Each structure stands twice: as structure tokens, then as C-alpha cells.
Chain A
Amino acid sequence: MRKDKAFKIILLLSGFLIVALLSGIFLSLVFSSIPSIKEFGINFLFSKDWDPVNNKFGALPFLIGTLLTSVISLLISIPFSLSISIFLSEILKNKLISNIFQTFVELIAGIPSVIVGLWGLFILAPFMRTLQLKLGIQPIGVGIFTASIILSIMIIPYSASIGKEVISMVPTEVKEGAISLGATEFETLKSVTLPFSFNGIFAGFLLSFGRAFGETMAVTMVIGNSNKIPDSIFSPGQTMASLIANEFTEATTKLYTSSLIEIGLILFIVSMLINILGRLIIRRFKF
């Protein structure tokens, strides 16, 4: 009996460990950001000067870079991931083929991000350069848009698999009702299935947006690493994550490191909010 009690306590403690771990992460980030927060306050978010030499730090270019890449990549990914969700749950009736296709989709998410970045740097970027030459844009190859394409490839599996799951949960009777009234498959999808699963699909997009927001290696390798505010979607830029990856080991002063950690704190808070919101929507959907 004493062993039983000890075992139960260990189980409870393991639960507490997770809570402590996450709280510890949050507190550490806040604590280490204090020098930067004290020095720049709210201006940190609105200043575009990132000047390590003069110890002046503002995160605006990276906030813009992160928002641009993640929004563009989300927009690119939507038609593809929605198609996959519908394709897997409504069109492909053969279980085996559907399984194989889904495995391919999920394998994309399994490729290490540094390898996607390598591919982006040596194959996609030169391709973009020739494309930009033809379009008459300054041919740099790397930049915000190239990073967005890479990101969209990486996030499609996430929203696609969540979308597939929620679309499969639409009750068959509801769909059959529409079909028995003479609706085509397309009309059933448009007026019954999609409205029914809209919240879940939206949550899938939200979670994949969160992925794009914090993705580091692949973006770092193809975004061009320029600390200025990008003046077009083809110009080089920097995201919050790529900035930390590039400069953290070079940060020599306390304020410099602290500013980078504050950017990490922003990443943490945003991704936490997106995750909680997304999971809440999905969970409500399931009941």
C-alpha cells in the first residue's frame, strides 16, 4: 500500500513537472528580457533601428518580416491543404491509396527543416532568380517571398491533416440528407460539409500559421538576412526566429542578448496564444 501511495505521488509530480517546466520557461524568458524591457519599453516593438554597435535595439523589421512570411505562406498553403483535406476525406474512397497519399503528405513534415532550407538555398533560390530576371525584378533569389514558399511547403501537412480529421467527423446522415435532396457532391460540400466543419478547418489554419511564425532553420537559410524593413515581398528580410538564429552567439553585450531574448519571449507568447486558441476550437468541435 505504501508503494501504491508513492506511485500515485510520482504520477502527480510528473504532471506538476510539466506545469513547472512551462512556467519556468516563461519566467526565464521574462527575467532575461528585463534589461531590454527597461531600456526600450514598448518602443522596442515600434523602432526600426537594430544597431548592436550603438546598443540600440528595435524589433519592428523582424515583426514585419515574420508577419509577412507567415501570412503569405498561409495564403499560399490554403488552396493546397484544403484540397488535400477534401481529397482524403471525400474523394478518395480507396482506403489503401488514401493511406499512402496521407503518408506522403505527412512525410513532408518529417523532412528536417535544415534540409528543406538546403534545397531552398541551392535549388529554389536560383530558380527564383531566373524567374525574377524574367519579371524584371532585381534578381536576388533569396528573400521574403522565397521564404514564404518554403514555409508554405512545410505547413501544408499540418492544416491538411487537421482539416481531414474535422471533415471526416461531419455526420454521414447530414451529408446523405443533402444528397437525397438532389445536391451534387460539390453542392453538398459547399453548403453542408464545409459550413459544418468550418471552425475546425479554421483552427487548422491557425495552428499552421503558428508553425510558420516560429519556424527557424529553413527560413534563416533563404530569407537573405537583412535587418532592414523589406520594401517589397521579393527583397531580403529577417524574421524574429532567423534573427535569433543568426545573432545569438554573436551577442556580446548584456543588452544585446537581452533584446534577442525579448524577441524570443514575443515568439513564445504569440505561439502560446495561437496554440491554446487553436486547440480550444478543435476540442469544442469534438464534443
Chain B
Amino acid sequence: MNEKTINRRIFNNKLYKIFVSSFSFLSIIPLFLIIYFVLIRGIKYINLKFIFSMPKPMGELGGGIFNAIVGSFIIVGVAALIAIPIGIMVGIFLSEYKEKKFTEIVKIFVDTLQGIPSIVIGIIAYLWIVKPLKQFSALSGSIALSFIMLPLVIKSTEEVLNLVPVDIKEAAYALGAPYHRIVLKILLPSGSVGILTGTLIGISRILGETAPLLFTAFGNQFLNLNLLKPMSTIPYLIYVYATSPYKDWHNQAFAASTILIIIVLSINLLGRFIEKKWKT
């Protein structure tokens, strides 16, 4: 082997490293571009009045997004109340019945559920709730969002329960504890951090979901606390305002996005932070 080929191989190796590193850095630039432009255009319109007042009628300047903020918290809260207990139960099932063939099927179904486009989930909530009740409702939006959150809770519960040492369980058995107490009083508490992570990531995910709300929770110009009536949410408001022809609404869409992006990314980061803590 002469020196020339060796030099070329070393050169190629350098080239490969430069190529891979620069493409990697290029791909996280959009993250900063998106956050930067949303903040720069949105932050100047955010003040207490914007957060705590109601929208003005179409075409009128000013107004706030109070109803959407309240709506988002209610709809996401109800969705979480549905998804968390069911998700934990399914997660326990998957980790406790590992050997069964049926468990494998359930696992594939959970993956499939996670892969369903969110707009299709919206259609389902429309068919199951909106159509029988004959009106758009916050409840139908919550149910749609709970379907999206469910797989995330299931997976993190299953994962963390698989990490709980068998010794703990055996010790509890040896003391004569009944099975349901072992699961509820010993396994679940030792896995609580993992479940918390899944819940936080799930909430940050559904807080930003828009597609499943388009024809379920719909939207509402007024403050509504009734789960059986249409309710506004922050992401829905952003979509409607952004695609409207009014300049003032565009600015409000950026302001609402600033609020949403800060909440969503903070919850997401908190979840990841907790996850890193218990995984290491």
C-alpha cells in the first residue's frame, strides 16, 4: 500500500466526519428558527390583558385568548383523567403477563394506536360522540385527545415496571402479601417516576394537538365551562387566526403560539429531565 492511498483514506475519513457533523448541526437549526421567529413576532403582544380578556368579534381590533386558555386546560385535563388510569392498567397488564400470546397482540395494537394519524382520531370522536349527541362538545375533544395520550402512558408504565427488580416482588410474596397489593402498593410506587414522565410527555403532546379538535371540541368565541358544549383551545385558535385574512389576528396567533410553545416545551423538558434522572 503506498502513501498516496493511505492519505486518501485519511482524507475520506475526515471528509466523512465533517459531512456528518455539519448535516447534524444543520438539522437542528429549524428548531431555533421556529422558536426565534415565533417569539420575536409574538412576545410584544403578550400582556395581562391579552391573557385575561375575551376575543373581540371578527374584524375588531384587540381582545385576548382567555377562553382558549381555560378551554385547553379543561379539555387536556379531562383527557388526562381518562388516559392515565387506563394507561397505567394496560401498562401493568403488559409487564405482568409477558409470556402470553395475547400480550404480544395488545402490544402491536398499542403501537398501531400510536401510529394512527391524529385527524383520523378526530373522525372517530366525531362518529362516537359528536354525532349521537348532535353537537360539537369539549367532551368529544377530550376523548379524542385521550386516545392520543393513552399509548404514551401505557409504554412508559410498561417500561418502568419492567425495570423494577424481581427481588422486591418476591420479598413481598414471601411476606404473604396478596397480588393486587403487591402491584398497587409496591410495584406502582417504585415505578411512579416513570409513569410521571410518560404523563408529562403525553400532556405536552396533546396540549398542542389541533387536528383531532377541528370537528370535536370545535371552537367557541365565548368562555364556556360546560363539557357538552363547544369549547375553544389555544391550538385551535392559532389555526383559525393564522388562516384568517386579518393582520391583527395573525399577530394574536403568534402571541398565542408563544404562550403555547413555552408551556409545551417546558413540560416536555421537565418530563425528559425526570426521565434522565431515574434512568441513570
- A interface, CB within 8 angstroms of B: 1, 3-4, 6-8, 10-12, 14-15, 17-19, 21-22, 25, 28-29, 32, 79-81, 83-84, 86-88, 91, 99, 101, 103-108, 110-119, 121-123, 153, 156, 160, 184-187, 189, 207, 210, 213-217, 221, 241, 244-245, 248-249, 260-261, 264, 267-268, 271-272, 274-276, 279
State in angstroms the CA–CA spacing of A274 and B9 once bound together: 39
Known A-B contacts A86-B20, A221-B242, A221-B243; the reply to A106 vs B272 at CB < 8 A is: yes
Q: How many residues of B contact A (CB 8 A)?
A: 87
Residue contact A91 to B21, C-beta cutoff 8 Å: yes
Residue contact B27 to A115, C-beta cutoff 8 Å: no
Residues of B within 8 A of A248 (CB): 122-123, 126, 214-215
Binds A, one of B58-66, B87-95, B188-196: B87-95
- Total A-B contacts with CB atoms under 8 angstroms apart: 246
Known A-B contacts A32-B127, A106-B272, A276-B112; the reply to A267 vs B180 at CB < 8 A is: no
Residues of A within 8 A of B33 (CB): 119, 123
Q: How far is the CB of A87 from chain B (nearest CB, A)?
A: 4
Choose from A81, A121, A267 the contact partner of B27 (Cβ within 8 Å).
A81
Choose from A11, A86, A112 the contact partner of B92 (Cβ within 8 Å).
A11
State in angstroms the CA–CA spacing of A212 and B183 once bound together: 39
State in angstroms the CA–CA spacing of A248 and B13 once bound together: 53
Q: Is B159 an interface residue (CB 8 A)?
A: no
Q: Is B145 an interface residue (CB 8 A)?
A: no
Residues of B within 8 A of A91 (CB): 17, 20-21
Q: How far is the CB of B217 from chain A (nearest CB, A)?
A: 12
Residue contact B28 to A110, C-beta cutoff 8 Å: no
Residue contact B89 to A11, C-beta cutoff 8 Å: yes
Choose from A103, A108, A115 the contact partner of B38 (Cβ within 8 Å).
A115
Q: Is B113 an interface residue (CB 8 A)?
A: yes
Residue contact B97 to A11, C-beta cutoff 8 Å: yes
- Interfacial residues of chain B within 1-39, with CB under 8 A of chain A in the complex: 9-10, 12-13, 15-17, 19-21, 23-24, 26-28, 30-31, 33-35, 37-38
Selected A-B contacts with CB under 8 Å, 29 pairs: A7-B179, A8-B179, A15-B93, A15-B103, A21-B147, A79-B23, A83-B20, A87-B23, A99-B276, A105-B28, A106-B272, A108-B31, A111-B35, A112-B210, A114-B239, A115-B260, A118-B238, A118-B253, A119-B37, A122-B250, A186-B16, A207-B115, A217-B211, A217-B235, A244-B122, A245-B119, A264-B119, A264-B120, A268-B117
- B interface, CB within 8 angstroms of A: 9-10, 12-13, 15-17, 19-21, 23-24, 26-28, 30-31, 33-35, 37-38, 41, 86, 89-90, 92-94, 96-97, 102-103, 105-106, 108-120, 122-124, 126-128, 147, 154, 178-180, 183, 204-205, 207-211, 214-215, 218, 235, 238-239, 242-243, 250, 253-254, 257, 260-261, 264-265, 268-269, 272, 276
